Structure 1
């Protein structure tokens, strides 16, 4: 057995995880929780590079249990910490199982031919946050589209958190707010294309995932970063 009962890795350096959530802050929250629980000697929280599962994030992996979590929101961290990291019981609703081994990216790489980040990414400033709406404008367990700087953005209330995606189905540009979701799967009713609510990943017959936008909530207002 290794020196730790559990070793937790949070993707903070991948292509998409840091754009889908404040993953650096996830590390701080989990470390503080472990310390408050008096488990710093046998539980370690580490930052990690890319897991090669881009587009499914933010992602957390817990060893030696080999439990992978996808689409983790900041509001999920306390449950993961209390139930699994401290209590030993994985949070099943957040478990990630791509159904195949190896890399499973649903977005393209941003690296150039020599494996380096393009020059335009070097020294890039932080995201420009754009106000979308008040959080109470999105129905509980519902979704609604809003125009943001000429881009239509779909805000989805999953029942536990807010997520933001492109407003039109990638199949035939049907408004997704006319569809339905059950907290796990978002369904476009035009041709029944389905997507993972937490990650935007395609499910079933859907051939393309949804473009997601980084989102934050402050003082009852929702903001998205269309770039960065």
Structure 2
């Protein structure tokens, strides 16, 4: 006996691989690249997710918008190369990895970005 399933049926109940790939490729536009100040920070949003975008030289990085210690906005911090400092209590992180440096006791969450023309896209 042969069972015929509708094409939308997935044995594992999840979305098709094609849909996953399409969603990942699409992403969410955060901002225009030139909106991020040279060697500076810009608060952006992807839906309800607030993200801080940093420009260090020619590279862009995205990470959580609040300090894990006291919820201070990280876009109000200071950026020196790849090191972000929360000015509220001087915790520091490497924006490339989110790893703590110096006094910081917790990492920050980082997000993948890609450039699409003049836009910065948060890869989902």
Normalization by structure 1: what TM-score? 0.44
Partner residue in 2 for 1:117: none
1:203 to 97, 101, 118: 101
Identify which of structures 1 and 2 has the higher relative contact order when contacts are C-alpha pairs closer than 8 Å and 6+ apart. Answer: 2
Partner residue in 1 for 2:75: 177
2:85 to 165, 171, 187: 187
Moved beyond 6 Å, runs of 4+: none
Bigger Rg, structure 1 or 2: 2
Q: CA deviation at 1:184?
A: 2.4
Task: Please state if 1:140 is matched with 2:38.
Answer: yes
1:166 to 54, 58, 64: 64
Question: Which protein has the bigger strand share?
Answer: 2
Q: Secondary structure at the match of 2:103?
A: coil
Q: CA deviation at 1:185?
A: 1.0
Question: Which protein has the bigger helix share?
Answer: 1
- Are the equivalent residues in 2 in contact too, given 1:196–1:202 (CA < 8 A)? yes
Q: CA deviation at 1:125?
A: 2.0
Q: CA deviation at 1:147?
A: 1.5
Q: CA deviation at 1:211?
A: 0.5
- Are the equivalent residues in 2 in contact too, given 1:183–1:197 (CA < 8 A)? no
Normalization by structure 2: what TM-score? 0.78
CA deviations 1:179-207 (Å, max 9, x no partner) are 10111210000011100122111011111
- Are the equivalent residues in 2 in contact too, given 1:132–1:147 (CA < 8 A)? yes
